[in-house]
């Protein structure tokens, strides 16, 4: 009869499986890597893009539906399409950076894994060459 495992034992086995630990490490590294890529996009690429478009800040673009009225205590109602554009640009740039990094890593990995090309086997001699070789060997005797 099999002894029933306790919930704690099952949980330990679940946590210690390789794929769960690998996934946890991936999430931790991924979240840290996200900060690096986001900083690259926001601090390096976006100022250049902003300069190309005359210093425009996409986040400030909006369509005001109802202006604010402080006397009446009414807040502004606006469609913040600039924020949406900014997020789309950020996404495209982050995706591009990640693509280029993965492409570079894959290229390095392929170079490491590529075995040296084997020397090409000598071509099989034709029937005429074989016959001439036999004749030569026979004449030598």
Q: Would you kindly state where each structural domain of the chain is located, as residue ranges?
A: 7-118
Q: Is the pTM of this model over 0.75?
A: no
**What is the mean predicted confidence (pLDDT) over 57-73?**
82
At residue 125, the 3 state secondary structure works out as: coil
Percent of the chain with pLDDT over 90: 0
Residue 4 has a pLDDT of 67
Inform me whether the pLDDT recorded for 54 exceeds 60: yes
Burial of 40 (0-12, 13-18, 19+ CB in 10 A): middle
Q: What is the pLDDT of residue 18?
A: 66
Domain made up of 7-118: CATH architecture: Orthogonal Bundle (1.10)
**Are residues 75 and 27 in contact, defined by beta-carbon separation less than 8 angstroms?**
no
**Mean pLDDT across the stretch 121-133?**
82
């Amino acid at each position: 009869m099999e002894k029933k495992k306790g919930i704690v034992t099952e949980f330990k086995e679940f946590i210690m499986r390789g794929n769960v630990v690998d996934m946890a490490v991936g999430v931790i590294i991924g979240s840290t890597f996200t900060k690096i890529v986001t900083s690259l996009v926001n601090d390096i690429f976006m100022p250049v893009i902003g300069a190309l478009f005359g210093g425009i800040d996409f986040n400030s673009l909006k369509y005001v539906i109802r202006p604010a009225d402080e006397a009446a205590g009414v807040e502004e109602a606006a469609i913040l399409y600039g924020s949406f554009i900014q997020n789309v640009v950020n996404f495209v740039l982050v995706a591009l950076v990640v693509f280029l990094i993965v492409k570079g890593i894959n290229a390095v990995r392929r170079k490491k894994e590529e075995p040296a090309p084997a020397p090409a086997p000598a071509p099989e001699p034709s029937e005429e060459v074989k016959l001439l070789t036999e004749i030569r060997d026979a004449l030598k005797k």
